[in-house]
Structure 1
Amino acid sequence: MNKPIGVQEVLRKKRDYLIPCVYHFYENPMQLVRGQMQYLFDEQGKQYLDCFAGVSVMNCGHCNPAITEAIVKQVTTLQHTCTIYLTETIVNLAEKLAQIVPGRLQKSFFCASGSEANEGAALLASIYTGKHEFISLRQGLHGRTKLGMSLTGLSLWRTDTSPVGGISFAPNAYCYRCPMNKRYPECDLACANEVEAVIKTATSSQVAAMFAEPIQGNGGMITPPPGYFKRIKEILQQYGILLIVDEVQTGFGRTGKMFAIEHYATEPDIMTVAKALGNGTPVGAFIATPAIADTYTRPGASTLGGNPVTSAAALATLDYITTNKLVDRAETLGNQLKTGLLELQKKYPVIGDVRGLGLMLGAEIVHADKSPAPQKVDYILEKLKDHGFLIGKNGPNRNVLAFQPPLVITRENIDDLLTNLETILKTVGN
């Protein structure tokens, strides 16, 4: 293995050769050179507990031997052909997905990213319904492409100066800062009911679908209350509008269910997945019921989507999740982490809210008047990094600590994380 070039040389090459939108965390960043399950290592050999999993990607851990072995075996046998030729791994992966996805979802189209998956889902919805408008949620994020960015309800990620039209936004279920100025459960799910008002007033009644994440990751771990998606689905069905559930961040065991929408007992018409499906290999897919999928009959292909190596990695990933009961593990360890964060909230008012499901949790950091405190989040992230723990940050004000570790972490890992987080919170001030 070549000697790492070091932080300063990486930064120089980054400035010289990468488009500047490619940003990085930390005032004093490190160069990561190796991963091993729940741990990452920098160029100095320092170990970090990864509590962000590459933004909810490495559910099975870094360089997981079982998955690496499947990749190596496939890459030395048949690496690429494209879908114009018959191969086995892509159909086996589609079959496996059909067995684990909720409801009547059955038929998949594979691509290389979540952004592509959402683009494809929107196209399929338009083909099926013959309509072209969409509804999305405030604080949602659905990709970096032209349409995906236009469907995104976060100004931070809407860098397109001329977004796609025909997209209307509904209030999200942000109970800590309710957009309807109400309180749950007395609100009677007013934010969900508002979707009908949006349909009636902000659209031309030609809405193909509504996009929604079960938990809005980049939006700040916004977690809707029980009954929210059932109400949404009822409203959409009245108007012949499809529900597209974006499970790009939430899928494959992350929330203590195989898919987060299962917490809400609601069946998507189309679902999009990516990230954790390939455990680090580029993959995305949109999955639909046969009635919807079978309307997409004109020729279509994705050059790299579902290629043999990616499909082999995904099959190995799904097998590892199932065999090692990572879904149950996420529920159990998520309860431990959430309980610990709630205990810290009682002692440190800088934590305004704790929310999420399973091992997809957020802690909103605030000032005494409840206003967002992004500078404190940056301080906490930097100090945790120095202590050997990597977490994320998100939300429209970038004031939410994001905990999305590999599902292979241990109870001892979580205890260590909470202990070090408390040490740092003592120095933050309120």
Structure 2
Amino acid sequence: MPPFDYTPPPYTGPSADEILRKRQQFLNPAVLHFFKKPLNLVDGKMQYLFDENGRRYLDAFGGIATVSCGHCHPEVVDAIVNQSKRLQHSTILYLNPAIAEFAEALASKFPGDLKVVFFTNSGTEANELALMMARLYTGSHDVISIRNGYHGNAAATMAATAQSGYKFNVVQTGVHHAQNPDQYRGIFGSDGPKYARDVDDIITYGTSGQVAGFISEAIQSTTALERQGGFALLTRSNQVLLALAAIFWGFEAHGVVPDIVTMAKGIGNGIPLGAVVTTPEIAKVLACRNYYNTYGGNPVCTAAGLAVLKVIEKEKLQQNAFNVGLYLKQRLNSLKDKYEVIGDVRGRGLLVGVELVTDRQLKTPAKVETLRVMEHMKEMGVLIGKGGLFGNVFRITPPLCFTKEDVDFLVDVMDYTLSKI
């Protein structure tokens, strides 16, 4: 593991076994745990995490793509602490500099007329708000979403989500799911126009011809459609709104400027913070009623958000993610050439997926092997995530301060582990 000049203070709290017992007794029974013996993580610094015994792990999961600057980044921590000492919460009904300064800084990062910011506490809330605004503005209820996407676990966002594992048996209306433009598993492969025609057919045969919007995770869309000019196919409706979730900014890869952008996760570096950015015209649809979010724009959260933006710029983390991400994909593709169990390597920057299969021709999901590799990599000091519809895709989403030395350690550990299965 790369050298790192930090030693956490001794941990004196409850053991992993005791915490697990309390979670099983008092917490939501739907909570999942990674690994046969769940980790008790008690300390973090930049791209590393530490367990109760002080053992260091390379964090290649980043709290599910949430820790952008690094764990406990000193400038983000200082912003949180300093604001907490002054004022933790008031209400959006009063003036406070933290929310105004962050809103201005965030809006300055957007092109065109995307200048109005609504703050929320999560990505689910942001997407719920975006969907409501799209429907109010267009006067239409129908929304187009992409299969295999995830947008949240509330009413409208669950309807927009297209994975059965995240959907409960409750009323979900108004969303039509188009084929996922997945070059690896998609039914049309890399044929972008066919995916475009699928969306066009949904509008023609499944709606009144007027839809409220098209919602997509930007990284999910960086496949076949991107190579065919993005989502320009949606010009058949004059008031279609494009809502994409990303930061700095995924939609730019498609050559389009959406009408609504939602974001969460990395903009707070782990602090509960989400946002919707839209145009002044669209924002007016909420002015006809009372709308506000009690904690949206909380001074501590927005102070953290502003600090995150400053750190990203100061430390050139976008450029680092681009450079290190290229190196990561190169090294992972070398593993793909070496091991038949790796069916696909995909992603952008430091958001990368590695799909395991037991048969490359049939693309049979290697569920058991995926779990086994994760367990062994954890034992060797590397934490990665797992996802995908079949639970066979490694999710590599580390903090943006990840280095090439970290990549080498991660890939070498994966290489060794794959050689043993």
TM over 0.5: yes
- Aligned ranges 1:46-61 → 2 under 5 Å: 46-61=55-70
- Judged with a 3 Å threshold, the aligned counterparts in structure 2 of structure 1 residues 229 and 149 are, in CA distance, closer, same or farther, namely farther
Distance in 2 of aligned mates of 1:326 and 1:236: 35
Shift of 1:167: 1.0
- Aligned ranges 1:279-358 → 2 under 5 Å: 279-297=269-287, 298-358=289-349
SS of 1:207's partner is: coil
Residue matched to 1:227? 226
- Aligned ranges 1:134-173 → 2 under 5 Å: 134-158=143-167, 160-173=168-181
Give the aligned residue type for 1:109: F
TM-score using structure 2 length = 0.94
Shift of 1:231: 4.3
SS of 2:310's partner is: helix
Shift of 1:295: 2.7
Residue matched to 1:244? 243
TM-score using structure 1 length = 0.92
After superposition, the C-alpha distances for 1:35-75 in whole angstroms (9 at most, x for unaligned) are 01100000111100000100111110000001000110000
Q: Aligned-residue CA RMSD in angstroms?
A: 1.5
- Aligned ranges 1:402-417 → 2 under 5 Å: 402-417=395-410
Give the aligned residue type for 1:283: L
Does the aligned pair in 2 maintain the 1:143–1:149 contact within 8 Å?
Answer: yes
Shift of 1:4: 2.4
Does the aligned pair in 2 maintain the 1:103–1:268 contact within 8 Å?
Answer: no
- Greater shift, 207-216 or 75-84, is seen at 207-216
Are residues 1:92 and 2:91 paired?
no
Distance in 2 of aligned mates of 1:196 and 1:239: 14
Residue matched to 2:368? 375
Distance in 1 of aligned mates of 2:43 and 2:222: 33
After superposition, the C-alpha distances for 1:175-212 in whole angstroms (9 at most, x for unaligned) are 101223xx42xx24311221110111112334211110
After superposition, the C-alpha distances for 1:310-368 in whole angstroms (9 at most, x for unaligned) are 01000000000011100000000000000000000000010001110100011110012
Give the aligned residue type for 2:300: V
Distance in 1 of aligned mates of 2:79 and 2:122: 21
Distance in 2 of aligned mates of 1:106 and 1:230: 25
2:85 pairs with one of 73, 76, 82: 76
Does the aligned pair in 2 maintain the 1:229–1:266 contact within 8 Å?
Answer: no
Distance in 2 of aligned mates of 1:225 and 1:243: 18
Residue matched to 1:254? none
After superposition, the C-alpha distances for 1:249-276 in whole angstroms (9 at most, x for unaligned) are xx2xxxxxx2111112211110100111
Q: Structure 2: 5+ residue runs without aligned partners?
A: 1-9
Does the aligned pair in 1 maintain the 2:231–2:254 contact within 8 Å?
Answer: no
Distance in 1 of aligned mates of 2:197 and 2:351: 26
Distance in 2 of aligned mates of 1:349 and 1:64: 39
Does the aligned pair in 2 maintain the 1:173–1:225 contact within 8 Å?
Answer: yes
Residue matched to 1:219? none
Give the aligned residue type for 1:50: D
Does the aligned pair in 1 maintain the 2:211–2:237 contact within 8 Å?
Answer: no
Does the aligned pair in 2 maintain the 1:193–1:231 contact within 8 Å?
Answer: no
Are residues 1:397 and 2:390 paired?
yes
Give the aligned residue type for 2:419: K
Give the aligned residue type for 2:397: Q
Are residues 1:210 and 2:214 paired?
yes
Distance in 2 of aligned mates of 1:308 and 1:77: 10
Give the aligned residue type for 1:20: P
- Judged with a 3 Å threshold, the aligned counterparts in structure 2 of structure 1 residues 87 and 409 are, in CA distance, closer, same or farther, namely same
Does the aligned pair in 2 maintain the 1:352–1:365 contact within 8 Å?
Answer: yes
| Sequence identity percentage | 40
- Aligned ranges 1:10-21 → 2 under 5 Å: 10-21=19-30
Give the aligned residue type for 2:296: G
Give the aligned residue type for 2:420: T
Does the aligned pair in 2 maintain the 1:383–1:424 contact within 8 Å?
Answer: yes
Give the aligned residue type for 1:84: L
- Judged with a 3 Å threshold, the aligned counterparts in structure 2 of structure 1 residues 197 and 318 are, in CA distance, closer, same or farther, namely same
Shift of 1:409: 1.5
